[in-house]
């Protein structure tokens, strides 16, 4: 993704992994078998791998640099995390920190870490393994979590009785160490981080899911997290992913976001759209498409 310039703010993408992730009918259980062919001219090969029909997804963080601060949005899967129920994430080793350095940043330079929600692929680099302990990766950052999101997973974890850990165990290794080191800031879902950067509730995928608005001058970007996982959901916004905890609410939230952003020129920065990730939603008949931003 090219650096996105939003007034006096810049946004860069920091990739952990990108590639074919899952069958379209696995990710989107309600998909009509003919949808991909009806939209083949723009979905293939960027969003869907030809022949296999696997959805191409990226797992990345987004770095927002304002005149005042450096903000890291979402923290991917992370290295060394024990995730046996998701082999592609288990004991992952990627040069994500080296790539951060490639953006001219050391962990000490991050002022704010912000998680759109607390799934395992959004909190991983909150912590790293040092001498057998999970410690905050970013020593000078305050970590901003939505209060309702945090409370949901805290309560769910305490009530959980299954054999496999809830949410791959990410609350214990990637969220609790932040709380225990007094680096967390729990905020309302419409919290303003600083001038031009604010949160908006986007429930459905998870109860406390949020999106992040970045606005400066006449330009506006939305870091929309997992409200959409793939551009296939622009071909049919009704399709919620199998990872959405409340598919009906997710559908409502996605439809509102798409309707409010279509044909406006607002730059969308979803958490899992493949390269170049940044784009704009455009109306196309009674459906939508994803077009490149400049």
Shorter beta-carbon distance to Zn ion: residue 196 or 270: 270
Site of interaction with Zn ion (CB under 5 A): 121, 226
Shorter beta-carbon distance to Zn ion: residue 9 or 202: 202
Shorter beta-carbon distance to Zn ion: residue 39 or 122: 122
Shorter beta-carbon distance to Zn ion: residue 58 or 66: 58
Rounded to a whole number of angstroms, the minimum distance from the CB of residue 130 to Zn ion is: 26
Contacts 24+ apart (CB under 8 A), 48-53: 48/24, 48/232, 49/20, 52/20, 52/23, 53/23, 53/24, 53/25
Longest Cα–Cα distance in the chain: 57
Shorter beta-carbon distance to Zn ion: residue 16 or 121: 121
Inter-CA distances, 2 with 5, 101, 162, 225, 261, Å: 9, 17, 43, 18, 21
Rounded to a whole number of angstroms, the minimum distance from the CB of residue 75 to Zn ion is: 11
DSSP state of 274: P
The H or E element containing residue 204 is none
DSSP state of 141: P
Instruction: Evaluate whether 116 touches 211 at the Cβ level (below 8 Å).
Output: yes
Rounded to a whole number of angstroms, the minimum distance from the CB of residue 25 to Zn ion is: 19
Rounded to a whole number of angstroms, the minimum distance from the CB of residue 122 to Zn ion is: 6
Rounded to a whole number of angstroms, the minimum distance from the CB of residue 195 to Zn ion is: 28
């Amino acid at each position: 993704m090219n650096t996105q310039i939003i007034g006096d703010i810049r946004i860069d993408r920091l990739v952990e992994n990108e590639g074919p992730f899952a069958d379209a009918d696995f990710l989107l259980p309600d998909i009509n078998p003919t949808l991909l062919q009806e939209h083949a001219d723009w979905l293939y090969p960027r969003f869907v791998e030809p022949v296999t029909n696997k959805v191409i997804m990226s797992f990345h963080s987004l770095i927002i640099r304002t005149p005042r601060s450096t903000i890291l949005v979402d923290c991917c899967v992370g290295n060394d995390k024990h995730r046996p129920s998701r082999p592609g994430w288990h004991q992952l080793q990627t040069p994500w920190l080296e790539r951060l350095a490639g953006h001219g940043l050391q962990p000490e330079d991050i002022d704010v870490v912000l998680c759109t929600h607390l799934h395992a692929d959004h909190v991983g680099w909150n912590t790293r393994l040092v001498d057998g302990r999970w410690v905050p990766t970013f020593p000078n950052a305050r970590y901003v979590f939505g209060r309702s999101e945090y409370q949901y997973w805290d309560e769910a974890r305490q009530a959980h009785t299954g054999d496999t850990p809830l949410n791959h165990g990410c609350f214990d290794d990637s969220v609790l160490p932040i709380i225990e080191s007094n680096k967390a800031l729990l905020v309302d879902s419409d919290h303003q981080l600083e001038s031009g950067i604010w949160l908006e509730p986007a429930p459905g995928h998870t109860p406390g899911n949020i999106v992040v608005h970045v606005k400066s001058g006449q330009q506006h970007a939305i870091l929309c997290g997992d409200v959409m996982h793939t551009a296939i959901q622009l071909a049919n916004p009704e399709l919620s992913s199998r990872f959405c905890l409340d598919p009906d609410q997710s559908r409502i939230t996605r439809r509102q976001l798409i309707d409010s952003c279509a044909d406006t020129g607002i730059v969308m920065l979803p958490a899992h759209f493949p390269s170049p990730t940044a784009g704009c939603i455009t109306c196309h008949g009674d459906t939508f498409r994803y077009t490149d931003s400049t």
